[in-house]
Amino acid sequence: MAHKYFTLKEVTLNNNCPECYSNEGLELTFKQRFIGNSFYKAITEDTINQMQCNTCNTDIFPVRWTNDIEQVVAYQKRAATPKPKSFKLKKLAWAFIIVDAILLIMVILFVAGVLKF
């Protein structure tokens, strides 16, 4: 299953790109992971950051960061507040739970002798 992320914050940086040395194209994006399927959707505490230069269209990985870029990323990471962890059941999950509860009650009543078929 591929990880799904939504964008928390996008920041344009004034630092020089380590690839093309332009100081107008760096963009830092913070993303937070969410999980979703037929039964539930949840937001996790996992966050990632990605940096890319829009001038040379290059992804800038942490290995290529200068000390200045690292300081700016650390500051922006503290400024980006992630959404709180959450968990929400979808309608299909609620229907599944209700049907299971009804079946369990029927089995208990049948074993107890209250319900006869």
- b/e for 33-66, b at 16 or more Cβ within 10 A? bbeeeeeeeebbeebebebbbeeeebebeeeebe
Average pLDDT of the chain to the nearest whole number = 90
* Token pair listed for 88: 């929400």
Residue ranges per structural domain of the chain: 4-90
Side-chain half-sphere CA neighbours of 89 within 13 A? 8
User: Please, which residues have CB within 8 angstroms of residue 31's CB and are 6 or more apart in sequence?
Assistant: 5, 6, 7, 8, 47, 48, 49, 50
CA distance 91 to 42: 14
CA distance 10 to 102: 48
The alpha-helical segments, DSSP class H, found in 20-90 are 67-79
Does the structure show a pLDDT above 60 at 1?
Answer: no
Q: How confident is the model at residue 30 (pLDDT cuts 50, 70, 90)?
A: very high
- Whole-model pTM: value is 0.76
The full length of the chain comes to 117
Mean pLDDT, rounded, for 18-28: 88
Percent of all residues in the chain with a pLDDT value above 90, rounded to a whole number = 60
